[in-house]
Amino acid sequence: MPRIAILLGSKSDLPFVDAAKSYLEYFNLEYDVQVSSAHRNPDKVSAFCREAREKGYSAIIAAAGMAAHLAGAVAAHSTLPVLGVPLPGGVLDGVDALLSTVQMPAGVPVATFAVGKAGMRNAVVFAAQLFSLTDESMARRLKTFKESGSRLS
Nearest to 71 by CA among 53, 87, 93, 55: 87
Going from N- to C-terminal start, the domains of the chain cover 3-147
Strands (E), the chain: 3-8, 30-35, 59-65, 82-87, 111-112
pLDDT digits over 130-141, tens only? 999 999 999 999
Q: Of 1.10.3210.10, 3.10.28.10, 2.40.128.120, 3.40.50.1970, which CATH number belongs to 3-147?
A: 3.40.50.1970
What pLDDT, on the 0 to 100 scale, is given for residue 67?
A: 86
pTM above 0.85, yes or no: yes
83 touches 104 (CB < 8 A)? no
Residues in the chain with pLDDT values less than 50: none
SS3 content of the chain, % helix, strand, coil (to 5): 45, 20, 40
How far apart are the C-alpha atoms of 116 and 86, rounded to whole Å? 6
What pLDDT, on the 0 to 100 scale, is given for residue 1?
A: 79
